Structure 1
């Protein structure tokens, strides 16, 4: 079980633009601990792993790289999406909000998911 704590961990919706009537969930100790655990134990795989581009090109599964519209291009999340799509010739699909657009813009985000999935169906 993770019991690590890192100051300032996470992309929390409280400092981002929100859709009307959206109230971000508070950053509780449990949420912070969960994020810290993710960073300490799961996220490390991102740094160690290598994408098998040839396997991605062979898969029948459609790869749809995505990023938040307000996520800066130099931020890891956005860079990962772009790097995933580039060798496949697939552009990054943009979604409302930033990294946590599903939390800050749930209605617009849901509509965008439906639109993207309808386009590839």
Structure 2
């Protein structure tokens, strides 16, 4: 990301690192997986031609240390972090884009703090409360077992479940290199974030209750059709009375297809604002 601004804000038991670029209406990107603030740098730089784009390291990752006295990590705590960041750096409700765990955090944010979110694009949120799939649960149990011995093997197996790497990336698209130590980051993810996602109970009815004040747009990747996270997005869209929107690429499309995704996000934001 072009580093127009960097800073930190204090939240309950943690200090969040954030960075932003561009000027205009605020857009918050909530990263998926173990992504740091700059993971979607190419997407952010493209959106920054029209918006002020903000991203951050989740608590416990890289430049966002959490204290040993911090509360146990849950999706509601991550949502509170995102709310604290928006309150600190934005003067108006933001457009929020989240992928995977970032989408689930975004949905919790919209439910807990609807006044802070104008539009939410939730890309393939992993939601057992929306689509309960015993085969998927067994596969995630296997990921958890692997993580106790080898976090790198666990993340490889997890990526195989989402179909990451199957979509052909846009020419020139590349992930940003990680800033923090990858093994430390993965250990934190599997010890805290992974079980928090699996324990989340947010359902479509709770989300529908705020859909009148916040435009919620579930999306799936064109290369993800049939995958569990895509089916979660499709079912959520159906429950909200919306048509599922497809974004280029797969589960990791915000990184693999930054320019095509930026164009589609601009269209969605404009459409939401005019409706």
SS at match of 1:82: helix
In the TM superposition, residue 14 of structure 1 has moved relative to its aligned partner by 5.8
Q: So what's the TM-score if we normalise by structure 1?
A: 0.75
Task: Write the mapping of 1:1-121 to structure 2, written as runs, cut at 5 A.
Answer: 5-7=151-153, 9=155, 11=159, 16-25=167-176, 30-31=181-182, 33-59=184-210, 60-73=213-226, 75-121=227-273
Are the counterparts in 1 of residues 224 and 230 from structure 2 also a CA contact under 8 Å? yes
How far apart are the structure 1 equivalents of 2:166 and 2:183?
16
Q: So what's the TM-score if we normalise by structure 2?
A: 0.37
How far apart are the structure 1 equivalents of 2:192 and 2:219?
24
Which runs of 5 or more residues in structure 1 are unaligned? Answer: none
Q: For CA contacts below 8 A with separation 6 or more, give which structure has more relative contact order.
A: 1
In the TM superposition, residue 29 of structure 1 has moved relative to its aligned partner by 8.4
Are the counterparts in 2 of residues 9 and 36 from structure 1 also a CA contact under 8 Å? no
What count of residue pairs does the alignment treat as equivalent? Answer: 120
Comparing 8-17 with 99-108, greater Cα deviation is found at 8-17
**Which protein is richer in strand relative to its size?**
2
**Which protein is richer in helix relative to its size?**
1
